[in-house]
Structure 1
Amino acid sequence: MGRVIRKGMIVTAGGLIQGLGMGLFLFPHNIPSGGAGGIAVLLNYFFYLDMGFALWAVNFSMLVLAIKYLGNRCTIWTMFAITVTSLSIYFCQKTIDIPFQNVWIDLITGSLFLGAGVGLLLRQGVSNGGVGVLALIISSMRGVLPGRPLFWINGFIFLLTASIIKWEIIVQALLSQWISTKIIDVVFKIRFYHGYPFAYRKK
């Protein structure tokens, strides 16, 4: 039970952190947070759907793949994670107003939050939803860090999004992905020792 509670707290933190990065810093500039984010931006552009709801719908639809390859337990945790993220995005956009916004400062800040949040989720074997499901499957099957496949899958969706909305998005989205995937791999590789802070090891 204690292990489940600990995992739940970490997954909740990961969902909240990545939702904060998207809702406050990336989505206000129409910068896709990833493949699912790119599709959510398009849904908002064409159908005026709320970004939090659009992201939740895209992610939820991808869970069919997660059930087949990742199992029921991972799928349930992923559903929980994407729900926390979507609620975080919704409440951030509805309740927090940033008076001064610069697209490049927000891009860097949002990408750092996004990478930290996704990294926490992937450390727990939980997908952040969307194409993160594919990245986690590839990571498990090929024994590679999840950041690289996530970057290439998202890149294709960014091209599609930029061709429809505006081409400047592709530069901003790819830069955001480069920053966030570097943070993902850093968080993914950090070693935590039970009972001791960070890298301290009892001798």
Structure 2
Amino acid sequence: MNKILITYFCLFIGASLQGMSMSLFLFPHSIPSGGAAGIAILMNHWFNFSLGLSLWLANITFLFFAIRYFGYTWTFRTILSVATTSTIVNILTMKVPHLHVHFLLDLLAGSIFFGIGVGILIRAGASSGGMVIPALMIASYKNWSPGKVMMGINFLIFLLTALVIDYKIVIFAIICQFLSTNIIDFIYELQLQKISFLTANWRK
């Protein structure tokens, strides 16, 4: 019972860090932290949807694939993760003013917090949703690192976001992905001997 409680506590922490990184540091500059975030920014730009709602809609399609490939427990945890992240994004973007310090510091902080959050989610047997789902599927089949696969998939969405909003976005998004995916891979490969149940147990 304690293991389950700590696992879901880690899931909440990871999802909250992810939402905080998006709403406080990355979204104010229209920098997508990933493919789903890029789609969310585009939906906000085209349809004026809230960023939290756009993030949730961007994840729905991939969650259907997740049930068949990863099983119900992993998918349920991912749904909780997406719901928590979307809620955090909505609350922080509506209630907390963006305290802009410096663009590069925001980019660095957002990348670090995002990488830590997603890394914790994967170790807790869930994901951040979105492009992490196909990335984990490909990584499982090819035995590649999930962070690098995710960066390749997201790059195509970054290009579209850059074409629609600002070409400079793709440069900043790639920097964000490079930093965050290396953090994700570090946490993914980290050996947690004293917390053995927090293994990389996202496989079905």
Q: Same fold (TM over 0.5)?
A: yes
Shift of 1:181: 0.3
Residues 91-100 or 20-29, more deviating: 91-100
**Identical positions, percent:** 38
Shift of 1:195: 6.9
CA deviations on 1:7-49 (whole Å, 9 max, x unpaired) are 1011111000011000100001100110000100000000111
Aligned 1:80-95 pairs, distance under 5 A:
80-95=80-95
Contact kept, 8 Å, 2:135 with 2:149, in 1: the verdict is: yes
Q: Give unmatched runs, 5+ long, in structure 2.
A: 197-204
Mapped to 1, the partners of 2:194 and 2:44 lie a distance apart of 43
Q: Partner of 1:19: helix, strand, or coil?
A: helix
CA deviations on 1:37-83 (whole Å, 9 max, x unpaired) are 01000000001111011001111221011112111111111100000
Aligned structure 1 segments of 4 or more residues deviating by more than 4 angstroms: none
Mapped to 2, the partners of 1:23 and 1:180 lie a distance apart of 16
**Which residue does the alignment assign to 2:77?**
77
Mapped to 2, the partners of 1:103 and 1:113 lie a distance apart of 15
Mapped to 1, the partners of 2:160 and 2:101 lie a distance apart of 26
CA deviations on 1:94-147 (whole Å, 9 max, x unpaired) are 222243332221111100000000000111231210110011112222222211
Q: What TM-score results when the alignment is normalised by the length of structure 2? A: 0.91
Aligned 1:144-159 pairs, distance under 5 A:
144-159=144-159
Contact kept, 8 Å, 2:77 with 2:126, in 1: the verdict is: yes
**Which residue does the alignment assign to 1:190?**
190
**Which residue does the alignment assign to 1:49?**
49
Q: How many positions carry a matched residue from both structures?
A: 196
**Which residue does the alignment assign to 1:169?**
169
Higher CA-based Rg: 1
**Which residue does the alignment assign to 1:26?**
26
Contact kept, 8 Å, 1:35 with 1:157, in 2: the verdict is: yes
Q: Give unmatched runs, 5+ long, in structure 1.
A: 197-203
Q: Which amino acid aligns with 2:180?
A: S
Mapped to 2, the partners of 1:45 and 1:14 lie a distance apart of 27
Mapped to 1, the partners of 2:105 and 2:195 lie a distance apart of 37
Q: What TM-score results when the alignment is normalised by the length of structure 1? A: 0.92
Aligned 1:1-150 pairs, distance under 5 A:
1-150=1-150
Q: Which amino acid aligns with 1:139?
A: A
Mapped to 2, the partners of 1:151 and 1:100 lie a distance apart of 27
Mapped to 2, the partners of 1:181 and 1:75 lie a distance apart of 21
Q: Which amino acid aligns with 1:107?
A: L
